[in-house]
Structure 1
Amino acid sequence: MSQHALLSAGCKAWRSITCPRSELRLDLTLGCGQTFRWRETADGHWTGVMRGKVWTLTQTEDMLCSNNHISRIQGMVDRLCQTLGTLLCKLDDVAYHDFPPLQDLTDPSVEMHLRDLGFGYRARFLQQSSQTIVNSHGPDWLHSLRSAPYLQTRDALRTLPGVGLKVADCVCLMSLDKFEALPVDTHVWQIAKRDYNFAAGNSQKTLTDRVYKEIGDFFRKLWGPYAGWAQSVLFCADLKKFQKLREEIPVMKDEKTELKNKMKKRRHEGFTQEQKREKGNKYQRS
C-alpha cells in the first residue's frame, strides 16, 4: 500500500526551492481556512491536489519542499470530488480524487445529487453557475478573467447565480490574481472597528453592500495594492488556532505605537480637511 511521503524518509522524489519562513509559512497559508484541498498529513507535511496530481509540501527553516504523491479534500469539496471526480490514488487507505470537470456539474440532476451530499441551498447555485459558465461563456472564461481589471472581474463573477460581493472577492484574491480584492465578513468588520477605529456603519446591525465597499476602500487606502493579502494575515491572526503563535511572535511595541500614530494622523488630516470645507462653505454663504 502506498503511504504519505515524509521528508525524513529521504525519498528522492522531493524537490526544494529557497523560500524563507519570513516570506511564506505553510502552516498559516494552508491552515487559515481559505484553502479547501489541503490537509496536514504529518507533522509539518501538507497534502493537496493540483492539476490532476497529488502533492505533499513541507518546509524547513529556509526551504520549501514538494513531493507529488498525495492529497485529501475537506468537507463538501471532499464529498463532491469523491462522488464526481476521478480517483487519482490511495495513500494510507485515504482516497484522493481530482476535482470534477465543469461540464460534469451542468446537468440539472446534479443539484439533487449535491443536496444528498449535504450542499443544501448551495447545490442549486453550483449547478446553475456551472451551466451558465459553460453555455454562456465557455470553459476558458474564468481563466481569462485573470487578465481583466479587478472591478470588471468582480462584476463579471457576480452575474453568476448565488455569487455576492464576498464570494466574488474571495475568487478574485485566491484564484484570479487580484491582490487588492478584500473579502469582508462580520469578522473583518469587527477587526476594522476594534483595531483601526473604523466608524462607518456603526449604526448598522448587518453588513450592507455600502459598508462592505467602504471597509474594502478603507483597507485598500491603508495597505495599497496588496490589501487583500494583508487582510488575510489579520484574519488568520484572529483565529483561535493561531493565538499561540501570536504569543510566540508578539508585535514589537514600537511597531504598535507607529501604527497607532499613523492612524491618528490620518484621522486628524481627514478632520482638518472637513473643517476647512465647512469654513469655505460658510464664507461663500456669507
Structure 2
Amino acid sequence: MTTSASDRSALGAFLRARRARVTPGDVGLPSGGRRRTPGLRREEVAQLAGVGVTWYTWLEQGRARNASDQVLEAVARVLRLDAAEHRHLMVLAGRGTAPEPGPPMDLRPEHTAVLAKMLPYPAAVQTDCYDLVAANRTYRYLFADLDTYPVEERNCAWLMFTEPNWRNSLVDEDTVLREITARLRNRQPEHRDDPRWNALIARLRQESPDFVRYWESYEVAADRTQRRRYVSPRVGTLDVQFQSLWLDRARGERIIVMTPVDHTTAQRLERLDSLVGAAPAWTARSDSADGSAAGA
C-alpha cells in the first residue's frame, strides 16, 4: 500500500526515535566501545532484521514507499516495540484504517445518567482527542469550575498543558503530561484528515514548549487504567484509579471515571460533592447534543 510523504516522514522519525532507545546489549550485540549516538546503528538494525542497509536507511529517510509486512514485522521485533508502538508503526506504514471524520459525538440521556450515578466520583464524557463533552459536578469542580472556560478550551490535553489550575493539580506532572502526549501521538495518524485533531495539535505546539518536547520524543502509548494523584484546591490530595468506560472504542469516545484508591480519598470526594452539591448533577458543553441541558 502506498503511503503519503507525511506518513513516510513520520514513520522515519518514529523508527529513529525507537532505534535510539535500544542498546546493543538489548539485542545480544557487543557494545563495541564508545558510540557517537545512543542506541543501535542503522546497519545493526538492518542486519538483525534481515534487510538491506540501504532499504532500512530509506525507511528512516521516508523514501521507502512500499515496505512489506515481513520487513515491518522484522524491524518491529529488532526495535522491541510494544503493542501500542507496533500498532502505530503499522498505521504509519499504511496498514491501519483511518476513521472518517465525523460530527461531534451524540451525547445521549443514558450517558448523562451514568455521570449522575457516578457521584461523588468524578466522571466525564470525553472524545479521542480529549475534548470534554459533559461532566458530573465533582469532575466539573475538581480543579476549577470547568464551565467558566470557553467551550473550545474544554479539552483535557489543552488544560493540563496550558491552564495553571489544572497543571498545578498534577502530583506526577512529568508522567501525566508524557502519557497524554504519547496517546495523542499514537492515535494521530488515524485522524490525519480530522480538523479537530489538526487544530488541537497545532495549538498545543504553538502554545506549549513542553508539549513540543514530549511530542518530538515520538513516544506512543495505548489507553489503560492507571493510578493518578491530584491536588484539589477544595479538598486536598486525591489518590485515584483513572479508567475508561468505552462508548465507542473505534472512535475513542468514552466515559472517564476516577475511583478512590483509599478511604481518605473516598471521604474527600464525598466532601467535594457536598461542597458543590447545589450545582446540577451534570453539565454539557454547548456544541454537543443536549449541550444546553443540565441534570438536576
TM-score interval, normalised by the smaller of the two chains:
under 0.3
Query: TM-score if structure 2 supplies the norm length?
Result: 0.23
Higher relative contact order (CA 8 A, sep 6+): 2
Q: TM-score, normalised by structure 1?
A: 0.23
- Larger helix proportion of the pair: 1
The higher radius of gyration belongs to 1
